[in-house]
Structure 1
């Protein structure tokens, strides 16, 4: 399993994913689950993946090489806008299901994948989409400016309480790292290192791309600072006066 999160704010898009892949308690590997398409000045797209690694890697290869969609062969690098890019990701997922779904089912395996696509293409605003294993998708909005894939429940509370469209990119990076750290502490199927990408509105380029390890100074500051802040907040809470003894 994995955890990936994307934020869509007025200033741009923040994308963060872990790199752990599990195939049993004694078979843990590291695979990057962040993929990018960048043509500076024209487009900057980031794709995060969760689920069956063979499925998601095949989807990514199809998006790079081109798939037959709407009567022509298309690549993610050629999509005219973000909505069409999300449609293309969905079409790639459905094509992989058509190719491999029966073989997976014969082995007792489900067709499991989910993907986040965020970024900006020249002529349109930044957008963020969650694509499901059926190839359909939803889009982040001002009311719900973040989307998650994988083991999302541990990292959700902080986002629900704090994130809004007015959140800055700098704050967004800190919040996604807090969300990820909460997940890392509670779920062994999510693990370091982390991949971070930031796209600033109007740049059509990835302004920050960073591999974050355990000894990253900023990540350690976030991890320790958040833990200490939670502990201090708990100690400052009033104790219940209705409990005897």
Structure 2
């Protein structure tokens, strides 16, 4: 395997056509951040594999920076690996630890993504879509945690108290529960529970999303990733959550009166 190859790189396939059909979710809260991503990627119906989508860079007691990705796997892994290799080296336009603001980090990630697409995109397009997107989140000492969505063009938007969660990938199935039940003043544990329900809804309706699910609950000013948990499909808590949610939906539907039907004729 070549030097610098990312963890869980898929060997023996043409990465230019590999699509990271995924679901990634970031939630901004007063207490911190909840970040969750699935682990499924595919290059066709008979080429399904597991790849970690959540990458973390830590500068002890100074910064925690997380990246979650969707889109062309070669593009996103090139961005992530480049940033990991540059971390702490002082390399301009690549070393994220040089920055004192997550806004500046987002500019660096967006600029690198743009340059990689300008370099590789024309060659990749004959095989498939070269584009990739990121959820970027974290905290740098001196400012609160922040959450961004970085687009293929290199530009980005930031989460706010009014729009406090962002999604990339297969987003539509997991969105309704968040719109109904997630509030900005929720604690980390409740938000993590809702994130897992959102993933369960997505996995049930879309085969391109699958476990394990990586969930990071980052507490403001902790500069720690100790609350990073991988939920496999057989995880006892995840199993109970799925069953209780399913039973609860069924009970709610049963409790609602049925509509009056028009009489025949």
Residue number in structure 2 paired with 1:126: 145
Q: Distance in 1 between matches of 2:251 and 2:262?
A: 22
153, 168, 171: which one pairs with 1:152? 171
Q: What per-residue deviation string (whole Å, max 9, x for no partner) do you get for residues 128-183 of structure 1?
A: 00001111110111111100000000000011112121010000110000000000
Following TM superposition, the consecutive aligned residue runs of length 4 or more in structure 1 with deviations greater than 4 angstroms are none
Q: Structure 2: 5+ residue runs without aligned partners?
A: 1-20
Q: Offset at 1:76?
A: 2.0
Residue number in structure 2 paired with 1:183: 202
Change (3 A) 1:58 1:241: same
Q: Distance in 1 between matches of 2:228 and 2:98?
A: 22
Q: Offset at 1:222?
A: 1.0
199, 204, 217: which one pairs with 1:198? 217
Q: Distance in 1 between matches of 2:201 and 2:118?
A: 37
Q: Report if the CA contact (8 A) 1:200-1:207 is conserved.
A: no
Count of equivalent residues = 241
174, 191, 202: which one pairs with 2:193? 174
Q: Which structure has the highest strand share of the two?
A: 1
Q: Distance in 2 between matches of 1:231 and 1:205?
A: 39
Q: Offset at 1:77?
A: 2.9
Q: TM-score, normalised by structure 2?
A: 0.87
Q: Offset at 1:64?
A: 2.1
**CA RMSD in angstroms, aligned pairs only:** 1.5
The one of the two structures with greater contact order (alpha-carbon pairs below 8 A, sep at least 6) is 1
36, 43, 49: which one pairs with 2:63? 43
